[in-house]
């Protein structure tokens, strides 16, 4: 094996090893998800335990602040998931290119061996000029036949050299592509790390804020959240929307709904795709994978890439995208209800479809 082959082969192996390390999934933490909508009032700091009893207005300010923190964490989660998907794709591409580099080097070595054999054969058959060899030949016709064969061999050798040149260029291109993919892999790895820091920061701030509340205050806060969700759902239902919405799901939609239903009670962990925990888009993407349809991993890409349908045309299995930045997604299951994974500290659950501001509806299956 030549030094060039050893160098490229070892480089390819190094690429595969490095990708294996960089592609390892990050640690999972409590997953953020957008809670019930509310206008964000000014302030919003919680009173310290042992201070004066907060009013409902104080707790509303706390709830608004929590909404903001968890929403920001949800946005960062989508960024993390997107970077994770890109990292997986780039890792796979680098591995493929490493294999191509090895195969290309092997092909080039074979061509070099063939070219060397052809050159040696021509050297042995050369020496005297053609006219002298013809004069010395006992069988001129045989000489002429051999000369034709030699010319064919020369053409074949020229083709072989051209093929070697192409193989060398292919090898160089594979190396350039691998370098480009490596740069992108590094960029997405950094994006994942930054998103992870953002998620942890927002969740830590939310947990700190909640920790300042006494047990009774936390219970009052929970009831205020439920009241806000109920009010939003009632307002949505009062539009008469359910009169126009179909309850008939497609075959695939029923399978997706069944999968999502089976996950109820499992915790929401950011970056998780099951089977023991999920984030919002992890749940919807895995539900539709179980139904036989691959869909994008993140709520933002689900909104961008899947077919949009009008709310009045939605049916069980369709996905409802929430908030202006598509930072949350849930599965519509019929009768004005959704299944979703809300946010840290919560589990996959059933909720009203109108409890959060709806951006739109997408349909994963083609039917």
Cβ atoms 40, 282 nearer than 8 A = no
Tokens of 207: 């947990």
Q: Is 274 exposed, middle or buried (0-12, 13-18, 19+ CB in 10 A)?
A: middle
**Other CB atoms within 10 A of residue 211 CB:** 11
Distance CA 282, CA 272 (A): 6
Q: Would you name the residues annotated as active-site residues? A: 280, 328, 340
Distance CA 290, CA 135 (A): 81
Instruction: Give alpha helix (H) positions in 212-250.
Output: 215-237
Given phi > 0 = left and psi -120 to 50 = alpha, else beta, which region is 334? left
User: What's the N-to-C CA distance of the chain in angstroms?
Assistant: 56
**Max Cα distance, the chain (Å):** 121
Among 335, 333, 365, CA closest to 349? 333
Distance CA 85, CA 191 (A): 12
* Chain center to CA of 331: 20
Distance CA 297, CA 204 (A): 25
């Amino acid at each position: 094996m030549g030094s060039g082959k050893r160098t490229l082969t070892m480089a390819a192996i190094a690429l595969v090893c490095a990708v294996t390390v960089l592609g390892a999934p990050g640690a999972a933490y409590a997953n953020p998800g957008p809670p019930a909508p509310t206008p964000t009032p000014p302030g919003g700091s919680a009173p310290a335990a042992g201070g004066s009893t907060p009013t409902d207005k104080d707790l509303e300010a706390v709830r608004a602040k929590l909404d903001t923190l968890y929403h920001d964490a949800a946005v960062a989660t989508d960024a993390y998931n997107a970077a994770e998907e890109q990292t997986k794709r780039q890792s796979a591409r680098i591995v493929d290119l490493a294999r191509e580099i090895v195969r290309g080097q092997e092909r080039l070595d074979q061509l070099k061996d063939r070219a060397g054999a052809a050159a040696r054969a021509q050297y042995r058959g050369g020496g005297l000029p053609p006219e002298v060899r013809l004069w010395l030949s006992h069988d001129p016709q045989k000489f002429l036949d051999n000369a034709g064969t030699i010319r064919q061999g020369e053409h074949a050798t020229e083709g072989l050299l051209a093929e070697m040149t192409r193989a060398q260029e292919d090898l160089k291109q594979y190396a350039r592509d691998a370098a480009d993919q490596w740069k992108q892999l590094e960029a997405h790895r950094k994006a994942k790390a930054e998103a992870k820091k953002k998620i942890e920061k927002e969740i830590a701030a939310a947990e700190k804020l909640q920790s300042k509340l006494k047990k009774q205050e936390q219970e009052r806060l929970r009831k205020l959240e439920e009241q806000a969700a109920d009010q939003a759902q009632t307002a949505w239902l009062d539009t008469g929307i359910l009169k126009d919405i179909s309850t008939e799901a497609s075959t695939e939609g029923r399978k997706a709904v069944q999968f999502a239903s089976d996950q109820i009670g499992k915790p929401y962990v950011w970056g998780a795709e099951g089977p023991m925990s999920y984030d919002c888009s992890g749940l919807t993407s895995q539900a539709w994978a179980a139904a036989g349809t691959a869909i994008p991993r993140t709520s933002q890409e689900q909104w961008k890439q899947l077919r949009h349908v009008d709310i009045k045309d939605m049916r069980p299995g369709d996905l409802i995208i929430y908030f202006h930045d598509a930072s949350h997604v849930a599965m519509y299951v019929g009768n004005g209800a959704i299944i979703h994974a809300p946010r840290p500290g919560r589990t996959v659950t059933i909720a009203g479809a109108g409890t959060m501001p709806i951006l739109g509806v997408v349909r994963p299956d083609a039917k």
